[in-house]
Structure 1
Amino acid sequence: MPAQATGRTRRRRGIVEQEIYEHAARLFAERGFAATSLQDIAVSMGLTRTAMYHYVDSKDALLEKIVTEVTLEGVALLRAIRGRADLDPRGRLRLAAYEMASRNAANPARFRLWHIGQMELGEPLAGRNERAKRGVLAELRGLIDDGVRAGVLRPVDSRTAALGILGMCNWIAWWFRPSPEHPVEPVADALAEMAVQGLLAAPAGVAGPQPEAASALAAVRAELDRLEAVLHAAG
């Protein structure tokens, strides 16, 4: 088979596989993993069960693929951002929050499945998933600690701050639905800016609600207003 034809075949297979993952994630999240069969997924796509086996080996393999993308790839993403020498600590934290929010907003069904399906994961997937969750938290805490040491972020308990940012970025999977009219980027950008503004250190020698601190607070409020406007438009 010519190389060009082989390339088209691979691209087509990749597209179909991604569609299968999206349909599977949605049905698993809506019905539960145990109550959803490969036949159900095939029907939702207009495929036969036999055709499904050309792309996936089993329902368990589908679940593993989805969970792996949400958690294990998340660890690798944050680790890579933390190693970015071209960004300062503030820029790295902002990029991390943006990427987490945008990934969850663009693939809400996959993230909701990961959250809802925790009790349905068998070993060894459940163990790998738990380690990946701890890894995501550790990398985000590291980004915050880096900012505190550099004096860019105010002294905070990095675990509390990281969990707060994770909650903000994760919750987007429940309330936002991307569409051509309502793209992911503005919402993810607003959340990323709020994550950073809430942790910025006051300038040296400034204490209390000085103009600079008031300015930072005003910026956070402006981002909240911008996010509210995006949500209002989405409604």
Structure 2
Amino acid sequence: MARPPGHGPGYETRRQEIIDAAATLFAEKGYAATGITELCEAVGLGKGALYHYIGSKENLLVEIQDRVLVPLLARARCITALSDEEPLVRLRLLSQALLEIIFARLDHIWVYEHDYRHVTGPHRKRLVGQRREFEDLVRDLVSEAMDDGVLRTVDLRLAVLQFLNLHNHTYQWAHTAAAGWTPARLAAEYCATMFRGLASQPFSTADLEEKVRRAHERVDALAS
């Protein structure tokens, strides 16, 4: 969000600090149970000063959602744009992109999963649309893999839910993950589990990971 006219260079830094603090509080207590007074105490501001930075409590919730969805969708669009890459390679890259956001924004993800229904009006419509866009990107790649004969033809909706559900609760334990359980490693394991289960014929996970490594470099170049 652009800095409003008349605000100094420290305005955006302070506003981001407030969003971080709000994400922590909402993750601990829930959005509905967290009052403005608690937010003020957490960031050391009076109500007037707090509203100067955030506009409203709901705006904080919108900002937290955006911190998850905006970078995730930006990365996902770069991944799916690599139309010459195999669909399983792109699905594996989507998996890693999602897990990287989860690991980087654990408090935000908790709020994203539990409190997004409190967003109202146009913001809610946009949020639901962004969530649907990511699911559609997953669905299109799973469908492509089935059409290519790489994955067995099964209920498409169920297959998409399997992919999403492999990832959706990682935030609940990621903060206690053992050393080495990086987003890349988890994505490799999650996708190997799913792809083996749905594969129309045996495939090499080592070959897949090598293709992913090369494609990852292409995604980084597109995103830069």
TM-score (norm: length of structure 2): 0.71
Matching residue of 2:156: 158
Corresponding residue SS for 2:55: coil
Is the 8 Å Cα contact of residues 61 and 116 (structure 2) preserved in structure 1? no
Matching residue of 2:115: 117
Q: 2:23 aligns with which of 10, 22, 25?
A: 25
Matching residue of 1:107: 105
Is the 8 Å Cα contact of residues 102 and 109 (structure 2) preserved in structure 1? yes
User: Do the aligned partners of residues 42 and 86 (structure 1) sit closer, same or farther apart at CA in structure 2, a change above 3 Å counting?
Assistant: farther
Shift of 1:147: 1.6
- Which structure has more relative contact order (CA 8 Å, sep 6+)? It is 2
CA distance in 1, matches of 2:106, 2:179: 17
Shift of 1:155: 2.0
CA deviation profile, 1:113-134 (whole Å, cap 9, x unmatched): 1222144222222222223232
Is the 8 Å Cα contact of residues 29 and 117 (structure 1) preserved in structure 2? no
Shift of 1:66: 1.5
Q: How many percent of aligned residue pairs carry the same amino acid?
A: 28
CA distance in 2, matches of 1:196, 1:101: 17
Letter in 2 for 1:150: D
Matched, 1:59 2:57: yes
Letter in 2 for 1:116: H
CA distance in 1, matches of 2:66, 2:163: 21
CA deviation profile, 1:94-116 (whole Å, cap 9, x unmatched): 00111112212321221221222
User: Do the aligned partners of residues 182 and 53 (structure 1) sit closer, same or farther apart at CA in structure 2, a change above 3 Å counting?
Assistant: farther
CA deviation profile, 1:9-51 (whole Å, cap 9, x unmatched): 85x6655444332321221233232332344234334555555
Is the 8 Å Cα contact of residues 100 and 170 (structure 1) preserved in structure 2? no
Which residues of structure 1 form unaligned runs of 5+?
A: 1-8, 203-211, 217-235
Shift of 1:151: 2.7
Matching residue of 2:193: 194
Shift of 1:166: 0.8
Letter in 1 for 2:199: L
CA distance in 1, matches of 2:124, 2:64: 13
Is the 8 Å Cα contact of residues 93 and 196 (structure 1) preserved in structure 2? no
Corresponding residue SS for 1:153: coil
Letter in 2 for 1:120: H
CA distance in 1, matches of 2:19, 2:187: 23
Which residues of structure 2 form unaligned runs of 5+?
A: 1-7, 206-224
CA distance in 2, matches of 1:201, 1:16: 53
Aligned residues: 198
Shift of 1:63: 0.8
Shift of 1:173: 1.3
